[in-house]
Amino acid sequence: MKLFWIAVICAAPLVLGTAAYLFGWGTGSASNYGELIAPRPVSASALQPLRGKWVLVIFDAARCDAYCERKLYFIRQVHRAQGKEMDRLERMWVLTDDGKPGTELLGVIPGTHIARFPASDFPGTPADHIYLVDPLGNLMMRFPRDPDPSKVIKDLQRLLKYSRSG
């Protein structure tokens, strides 16, 4: 009888694991907050100097409204929250018009690269999202219109921790 119970105890993890796999028990939701996008190369030449770094990209007009300012502040804070890993992350503001940003605004977003290029490589409505480009120049993730800062920070920390590139 003792031998029987030892065999049951030893076989239980294998039997329960197989049952969980077959019946879909315990399958949870994705652990990432941002929406993963099938990696696609971004053809913008403005991103070439930033190759080898992760890049947060936002699209907005040069005449920055309150939502635009919030996005710029958000990506600056997310960048700073990376601590010692923040050198692996860059920020880019892509201007969607021919205007020029105000000097006052430029003074509060130091380190943010400013460029102009078409948003054809970026899905959805580009002004409504914050995009993440990987160190190889591929678009791979986007965050919603009004993202939760702690969840974005967690996503980026996880990416930077497990990625050797960038």
Q: Domains of the chain by range and CATH? A: 34-162 (3.40.30.10)
Query: What percent of the chain lies above the pLDDT cut of 70?
Result: 96
Least confident of 14-23, 54-63, 146-155: 14-23
Q: Which residue has the tokens 């021919």?
A: 98
How is residue 126 written in tokens? 């580009």
The answer to whether residue 154 scores a pLDDT higher than 80 is yes
Stretch 137-161: mean pLDDT: 94
pTM: predicted TM-score of the whole model, two decimal places: 0.82
List Cα–Cα distances, 52 to 103, 110, 137, 158, 160, in angstroms: 29, 20, 8, 17, 12
d(CA 59, CA 124): 12
Q: Using one digit for the tens of pLDDT, what is the confidence trace for 112-142?
A: 999 999 999 999 999 999 999 999 999 999 9
Residue 166: pLDDT band (50, 70, 90) is low
Stretch 94-119: mean pLDDT: 93
